[in-house]
């Protein structure tokens, strides 16, 4: 992997024009290097990322517009515009848009590890079970539903 490069990623654009569709959500990579990976997101109402764990990465979310409902280490939480969500490595977290409106946010992980390649692989994969299977190959462990 390459080192992070200096530069400006224009608003609304992804690096090299990349736009990923991840189960109905839009992700655009805005910075990528060995030390970190950042991506702009758009979560339509009713979309979510089920509870999962990044064993080898700290993850952060800066909410830009809208409101996320969360599960952080088994506890409910919510975050709105300007809030920063901190998810240390090994902490279970789930991200849900139940707000009735789209949510825009900047996500980033440190170190980058293999998350960029995971998103490349699951772009336009419509089957959630297949997304979960592929994610396990890239150090992201989705948890079984409660029950």
pLDDT tens string 63-76: 999 999 999 999 99
Q: In angstroms, rounded to a whole number, what is the distance separating the alpha carbons of residues 117 and 130? A: 15
- Residue 43 belongs to some domain of the structure: yes
Q: List, in order, residues 6 or more apart from 86 with CB less than 8 Å away.
A: 58, 60
Total count of domains within the chain:
1
**Residue ranges making up the domain that contains 77:** 29-113
pTM of the model: 0.94
Question: Length of the chain in residues, anyone?
Answer: 147
- Residue 75 belongs to some domain of the structure: yes
> What letter does residue 23 receive in the DSSP assignment?
T
> What letter does residue 1 receive in the DSSP assignment?
-
55-111 residue pLDDT tens: 999 999 999 999 999 999 999 999 999 999 999 999 999 999 999 999 999 999 999
Of 147 and 143, the structure prediction assigns the larger pLDDT to 143
CATH for 100: 2.60.120.10
- Residue 42 belongs to some domain of the structure: yes
37 burial (CB, 10 Å; 0-12 / 13-18 / 19+) is: buried
């Amino acid at each position: 992997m390459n080192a992070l490069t200096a530069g400006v990623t224009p608003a609304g654009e992804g690096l090299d024009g990349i736009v990923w569709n991840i189960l109905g959500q839009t992700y655009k990579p805005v910075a990528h290097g060995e030390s970190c990976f950042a991506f702009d997101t758009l979560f339509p109402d009713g979309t979510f990322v089920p509870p999962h764990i990044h064993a080898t990465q700290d993850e952060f979310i800066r909410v830009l517009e809208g409101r996320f409902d969360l599960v952080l280490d088994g506890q409910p939480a919510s975050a709105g515009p300007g809030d920063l969500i901190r998810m240390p490595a090994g902490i279970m977290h789930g991200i849900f848009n139940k707000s009735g409106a789209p949510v825009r946010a900047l996500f980033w992980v440190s170190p980058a590890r293999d998350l960029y390649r995971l998103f490349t692989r699951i772009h336009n994969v419509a089957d959630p079970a297949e997304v979960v299977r592929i994610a396990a190959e890239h150090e992201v462990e989705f948890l079984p539903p409660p029950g």
